Amino acid sequence: MSNKARANQQVDLSIADHNIPIAFSGEIMLTGWGENHRVGRTATFRLPEDEPEHPFRGMAVSAGKSVGQRFMAVLVMLNDDETPNDEVAEKLYGKHVRELHAKGWFFDRRVLQAMGTPDEFREWASRQSCVVCKSPAPSNVLRGPGYTAISVCNLHRHSDVAALATHQPKLIKVWVSHLICRIAGTDGLSEIPPAYFKVICEQKGIRDTIPASYFDAGSTEGSDQG
Ligand SMILES: [Zn+2]
C-alpha cells in the first residue's frame, strides 16, 4: 500500500510539504452522490487505473456496525486545462449573493449608512478607476447628494450625466462588497459562508436587512439529486 503514495505533479498539494503520509493521490472523477437515511451523505469517484491493484483493496469498509478506514481528504477542483479551479467558492455561495443582488440589498439605505458616510464613499471612489473606460486613478470624482459620487477620467468627466448614472449601481456594489470582504478576509462575497455573513451584518447592526431567503435552502448547495 505504502508505495501507492504519489505526489500529483499537476497540482501543487501544499500538504505534501509537511511530511504528511499520503495514502492516495491522483486525479479522480465524480460519478455520483447521494443522501439517504441509511448511509447518510455519500459521493462516488472513479479512480485512475494506472496501478496494478485497487489502491483501497483490503482496507476496512463501513458495513453494519463495523467502522471503515478513515481518511483526511482535500479535493481540488480542476479546470479542463488541468489547472486548479478557484471558482469553487463562487459555486458554493454564489446563489446567496445573487439573492442579495435580486433584493437590492446593496442599495438599502441602512446598509450604506452602516458601511460609511457619503464622504467616506466619495474618498473611496476617488481611488477607483474610471467607471466608463476603467483607466486607473481618475482625477475627477463627480458628486451629487448622498452616495452618488462617481469616478471618471478627464476624458469622460463631461459625459452625459444620465449615461454616467448608469454606472452608479456597480460602484456602490463594489464599495459595499469591498468593505464586507475586508472584514471577512475574502476576495469575494460569494466566498463568505452565509452564517458568517450574518455575523458580520449583526456586528454592523444591519442583520434585519438580510433577505430571509438568503439562509433558506443552504443545505443542498444547489446540487441536483443524482
Ligand atoms: Zn474614462
217 has pLDDT over 60: no
Q: How far is the CA of 136 from the centre of ligand 1 (A)?
A: 9
Which residues have CB less than 5 Å away from ligand 1 (the ion)? 130, 132-133, 153, 155-156
Q: How far is the CA of 123 from the centre of ligand 1 (A)?
A: 18
Q: How far is CA 64 from CA 11, 13, 67, 133, in A?
A: 36, 34, 8, 64
7 has pLDDT over 90: no
Rg (CA), the chain: 24
pLDDT score of 187: 84
Q: 114, 96 in Cβ contact below 8 A? A: no
The span from the CA of 106 to the CA of 219, in Å, is 25
- Residue 105 CB neighbours (<10 A): 20
CA-based torsion, 71, 76, 81, 82: positive or negative:
negative
Q: How far is the CA of 140 from the centre of ligand 1 (A)?
A: 10
Q: How far is the CA of 156 from the centre of ligand 1 (A)?
A: 5
14 has pLDDT over 50: no
Per-residue pLDDT tens for 88-118?
A: 655 678 888 889 999 999 999 999 999 999 9
Q: How far is the CA of 160 from the centre of ligand 1 (A)?
A: 13
pLDDT score of 5: 37
- Residue 179 CB neighbours (<10 A): 19
The residue ranges of every structural domain in the chain are 1-85, 88-214
- What SS3 string covers 80-127? CCCCECCCHHHHHHHHHHHHHHHCCHHHCHHHHHHHCCHHHHHHHHCC
Per-residue pLDDT tens for 118-157?
A: 999 999 998 898 888 888 866 778 877 889 888 888 888 8
Q: How far is the CA of 26 from the centre of ligand 1 (A)?
A: 48
The answer to whether the predicted template modeling score (pTM) of the entire model surpasses 0.85 is: no
Q: How far is the CA of 144 from the centre of ligand 1 (A)?
A: 19
